Amino acid sequence: MVDAPVKPKTTTKTRPKLERPRLHKVILINDDYTPRDFVVMVLKAEFGMGEERAYKVMITAHRRGVCVIAVYPRDVAETKATRASDYGKKLGFPLMFTTEPEE
Ligand code: TYC
């Protein structure tokens, strides 16, 4: 009796391509009421910026209307944007930070 040819075992591993979770931008929005110094203070307190960087970001938002501050995983970006906006809210300023996914 002749053995049937042994079929080599081939295993096909399907590795699903997982998308890397997108980072989210935190964006500072200009307004006409929040004092410049206060915006700088919030940027330093919530985003760990030094005076010079915080001033540059504030003045960019002031001149252009918006400024991207930093990118983080979504939950971090949303928490920071909320906390930073709340600093203004407490004192009655319309200071606003938003988030959006990176392309
Ligand atoms: N435009 C404000 C002013 O002139 C200062 C300011 C800058 C407010 C940036 C918000 O995101 C902002 N007092």
> Whole-model pTM?
0.83
Q: What is the pLDDT of residues 72-94, one digit of tens each?
A: 999 999 999 999 999 999 999 99
Residue 84 · residue 47 · CB < 8 Å:
yes
Per-residue pLDDT, 14: 77
Please work out whether the CB of residue 27 comes within 6 Å of at least one atom of ligand 1. no
Bridging pattern class, strands 96-101 and 66-72 = unpaired
More confident residue, 10 or 73: 73
Q: What is the pLDDT of residues 28-87, one digit of tens each?
A: 999 999 999 999 999 999 999 999 999 999 999 999 999 999 999 999 999 999 999 999
Per-residue pLDDT, 65: 98
CA distances from 67 to 7, 17, 27, 56, 90 (A): 63, 33, 6, 10, 22
Boundaries of every domain in the chain: 33-101
Task: Round to whole Å and give the CA distance between 55 and 88.
Answer: 17
Per-residue pLDDT, 4: 64
Domain over 33-101 is classified CATH 3.30.1390.10: yes
Per-residue pLDDT, 15: 77
Residue 47, token pair as written in the block? 């985003």
Instruction: Using most ligand atoms within 8 A of CB, pick from 32, 67, 69 the residue to mutate for ligand 1.
Output: 32
